[in-house]
Amino acid sequence: MTTATKPPKPAKKKDLMSRIPAGFVRAVLRGHSSLGLAFAALIYLICLSGSIAVFAHEFQRWESAAGPHITEASPDAVQTAFAGAIAAGGAGVEHVYITLPSADFPRLLLHVDADTDREFLADAAGKIAPGQDFAWTEFITRLHINLHLPVTWGIFLVGLIGVALLSSLISGILAHPRIFRDAFHLRLGGSKRLQEADLHNRLGVWALPFHIFISLTGAFLGLTTIIVGVLGMAMFNGDANKVYALFFPPPPVDDPRPAPVLDLRPMYAKLPQDGGRITYIFTEHPTERGGAALFNVKQPDRMAGTDSYAFRRDASIYNAQKAADNNLGEDLLGGMGQLHFGWFGGGIVKIIYFALGLALTYLAASGVNIWLARRRDKGRPAPRWERAWAATVWGQPAGMAAAAVAGLAAISTPVAIGAWLVVSLLFLLAAIRLSTESLSRIGRLATGALTLLAVAVHLGLRDGLAAADPMAWIVNLVLVAGGVLLLIPRLGAQKRPVEPAAATA
């Protein structure tokens, strides 16, 4: 006998994230909020400078627009340039770093590490010209790498910020139970908090793989020194060099007796012809008997595809490492820098890295905006913090644009740093009196005007009009477009028909 009972209606299946308990979400959100607020300004600064630093090679080409533009350098030309740079480099030459021309960076660049460091560019015949022209690029890359602080501390601090960012990504995902349901919601207009939250969440979720590998590689690169130091202390009797020795060729045997300039040509002749491209030559003690040279040869389509060949003065090879024989650890380490900076897929990847880097920058900015809007919604506005945050958000791009103007005009990185500091401080001081709206408007206008001024300085003082390198023209055009866009108010205002606001925020 059976009773005809109606089977219970199955409960609607919730997705995994929706099953996270509300109390847990609120606790994680608290941690996410605390961490974001504590580090927001530094995350913002590092992400913004990193997004721009993706184009470091393009900016170097822009800054050296009048310099020799070459696509190939023969061994004879490299040798001539090498000898010329050592002769012009002054006393106490310890190392010379030679960057060979590539599609990405069509310059022959020599950095001489002597009593005073100097850089030179050379033409296709190897004739050198002073090349200390990269003040702005140096400014923006060092700002990203060590915040212009003493290198060890600066790099560690940037590594710490990478960890904080990674932590924010973890807590951000855990605090987002509607991750799938809202995956495609982007509601603009209406409440400021809802709009900011939608942008924050969509950019955070869909670009998550990018955010993770950027923060992880950044944290790893920043923390390497301290990790290796602790590792050396714990397991190598305090000798961190034993850790590095597992990855890098041994240094040459020291012999400080004077000798003629190292001859690189017979070394060139001994390199295997296997389709690789020589990208970099690192020479050590080039005017001593113990001189040596390390050639980096890049193999195509590999992230960590650099073979290295270390030569003694007599052109005998004392260490050879082929990328094809790398183990996983060597591959990971070799690809880390390229992956972090986006220098592995040509212009298209750089543009995408720039856009996603700005998205990450926006995450930092919008996180604070959401917190400020929440306080305002709850009747506890924080006007001082609102002004200070607006001054930070707009003071930084304005400061960087000012650094470009100063760096181009004075050809000096310290001057560029000074200009950035002055503008940043002016914005923070202005926050004492000016409203958030005024700070934002002034910041936007100042960034636009200073960007256009940088182009004018480039054209007027840095031979931009006579540039042989098309990249100089492209950079100027992009900067003009960017500057003009910033000067036009309310560009791209509402286009879509308005729909009523839903009751979720």
Within residues 251-290, the interface with another protein by CB under 8 A covers 275-277
Between 201 and 476, name the residue whose CB sits nearer to another protein. 201
Q: In the set 72, 152, 213, 460, which binds another protein (CB under 8 A)?
A: 213
181 belongs to the binding site for another protein (CB under 8 A): yes
21 belongs to the binding site for another protein (CB under 8 A): no
Q: In the set 46, 83, 216, 398, which binds another protein (CB under 8 A)?
A: 216
354 belongs to the binding site for another protein (CB under 8 A): no
329 belongs to the binding site for another protein (CB under 8 A): yes
Cα 346 to chain centroid distance, Å, stands at 15
Dihedral Cα 403, 405, 408, 410, nearest 10 deg? -80
Count other Cβ atoms within 10 Å, centred on residue 333: 15
Within residues 367-386, the interface with another protein by CB under 8 A covers 374, 377-379
Nearest approach in angstroms of CB 178 to another protein is: 9
191 belongs to the binding site for another protein (CB under 8 A): yes
359 belongs to the binding site for another protein (CB under 8 A): yes
Distance in angstroms (rounded) separating the CA atoms of residues 276 and 296: 9
Q: In the set 125, 149, 188, 477, which binds another protein (CB under 8 A)?
A: 188
Within residues 225-244, the interface with another protein by CB under 8 A covers 227, 230-231, 234-236, 243
303 belongs to the binding site for another protein (CB under 8 A): yes
Within residues 135-164, the interface with another protein by CB under 8 A covers 159, 162-164
302 belongs to the binding site for another protein (CB under 8 A): yes
Length of the chain: 505
Within residues 455-494, the interface with another protein by CB under 8 A covers 494
27 belongs to the binding site for another protein (CB under 8 A): yes
- Answer yes or no: are the C-beta atoms of 337 and 221 closer than 8 Å: yes
List the structure tokens of 445.
């206008």
Q: In the set 206, 280, 282, 385, which binds another protein (CB under 8 A)?
A: 206
List the structure tokens of 43.
């995350």
List the structure tokens of 428.
């923070």
The long-range contacts involving 110-118, CB below 8 angstroms and separated by at least 24 positions, are 110/81, 110/82, 110/85, 112/85, 112/86, 112/88, 114/89, 114/90, 115/90, 115/91, 116/90, 118/85, 118/88, 118/89, 118/90
Within residues 160-179, the interface with another protein by CB under 8 A covers 162-164, 166-171, 174-175, 177
297 belongs to the binding site for another protein (CB under 8 A): no
Between 316 and 504, name the residue whose CB sits nearer to another protein. 504
Listing DSSP states for 5-16 in one string gives PPPPPPPPPPPG
Q: Which helix (H) or strand (E) holds 52?
A: helix 22-53
Q: In the set 352, 456, 474, 487, which binds another protein (CB under 8 A)?
A: 352
Between 152 and 504, name the residue whose CB sits nearer to another protein. 504
Between 4 and 348, name the residue whose CB sits nearer to another protein. 348
Between 339 and 478, name the residue whose CB sits nearer to another protein. 339
Within residues 330-349, the interface with another protein by CB under 8 A covers 330-333, 335, 339, 342, 344-349
Between 489 and 497, name the residue whose CB sits nearer to another protein. 497
Dihedral Cα 257, 258, 260, 262, nearest 10 deg? 60
CA separation, residue 114 to residues 118, 152, 183, 286 (Å): 8, 21, 55, 11
Task: Lay out the site mask for another protein across 59-98 (x = CB under 8 A, - = otherwise).
Answer: ----------------------------------------
- Answer yes or no: are the C-beta atoms of 447 and 398 closer than 8 Å: yes
Between 202 and 289, name the residue whose CB sits nearer to another protein. 202
Residue 269 Rama label (left phi>0; alpha psi -120 to 50; beta): alpha
**Count of residues binding another protein (CB under 8 A)?**
109
Q: In the set 18, 74, 152, 504, which binds another protein (CB under 8 A)?
A: 504
List the structure tokens of 482.
């960017």
Orientation angle between helical segments 151-174 and 135-146, nearest 10 degrees:
60
Distance in angstroms (rounded) separating the CA atoms of residues 174 and 477: 42
325 belongs to the binding site for another protein (CB under 8 A): no
Instruction: For residue 205, give the 3-state DSSP assignment.
Output: helix
100 belongs to the binding site for another protein (CB under 8 A): no
Q: In the set 132, 224, 308, 438, which binds another protein (CB under 8 A)?
A: 224
183 belongs to the binding site for another protein (CB under 8 A): yes
**Cβ neighbours of residue 482 closer than 8 Å, sequence gap 6 or more:** 448, 451
Residue 128: name the closest of 78, 93, 172 by CA: 78
Residue 482: name the closest of 474, 471, 470, 493 by CA: 474
